[in-house]
Structure 1
């Protein structure tokens, strides 16, 4: 739940504040945002399965963002688009977590309809 609230606050701040990121930082920010979204979806999944731990979420949120941005920077310096690997991995994990969340919620809905 903390992750979802943080996501909402971040979206609202992004809509209210007029912050422009220079084009040269776009790959770093896009990968960092994907990494953070991965952490948020992971937190939502953990929350639904009653295994959410705030310290794991915070460390993953910050660590994933820093690692993803660092990989994008390293790839930029080497002339290799390493950030694409991060996009693939984090994108895949986001879809996996979403699928698990969806299945969990559908199962919960079915159990409610049956009266379990």
Structure 2
């Protein structure tokens, strides 16, 4: 739940503050943001599964963002669009986590309706 609140605060700050990212940095920021979203969805999934660990979340949040931005930078220097690999991997993981979150929420809702 903490991760979701943090996400909402971040979105609100992003909407309220005028932050301009230079065009040269936008590929790095986009994959870093995608990596962070992957960590947030993973945290929500872990929280619903009752196995959330804050140290795992924090290390994954920053580690994934740095790794994704590093891959984008390395690919930029090599002239290869390696950021696409990060987009595919993190995008797939986000959809997988969303599917599990959806199933867990539906199961919880059905168990409440049955009175369990």
Give the 3-state SS of the residue equivalent to 1:50 in structure 2: coil
* Residues 59-95 of structure 1 deviation map (CA, whole Å, 9 limit, x = unaligned): 1000000000000000000000000000000000000
Deviation at 1:14, TM superposition (A): 0.6
Q: CA deviation at 1:112?
A: 1.2
**RMSD value, Cα:** 0.7
Deviation at 1:16, TM superposition (A): 1.1
Q: Given the alignment of the two structures, is residue 83 of structure 1 paired with residue 83 of structure 2, yes or no?
A: yes
Structure-to-structure mapping, 1:38-57, within 5 angstroms: 38-57=38-57
Q: Distance in 1 between matches of 2:114 and 2:2?
A: 31
Local SS of the residue matching 1:23? coil
Q: How high is the TM-score relative to the length of structure 1?
A: 0.97
Summarize deviations over 1:37-67 as a string: whole Å, max 9, x none: 0000000000001100111100100000000
Task: State the alpha-carbon separation in 2 of the partners of residues 66 and 13 from structure 1.
Answer: 22
Find the aligned partners of 2:112 and 2:43 in 1 and give their Cα distance: 24
Structure 2: gaps of 5 or more residues: none
Distance 2:12 2:75 in 1: 32
Structure 1 consecutive aligned stretches of length 4 or more whose deviation exceeds 4 Å? none
Using the size of structure 2 for normalisation, the TM-score is 0.97
Q: How many angstroms apart in 1 are the aligned matches of 2:64 and 2:87?
A: 12
Structure 1: state its 5+ residue gaps: none
* Match status 1:37 vs 2:37: yes
| Corresponding residue for residue 4 of structure 2 | 4
Q: How many residues align?
A: 116
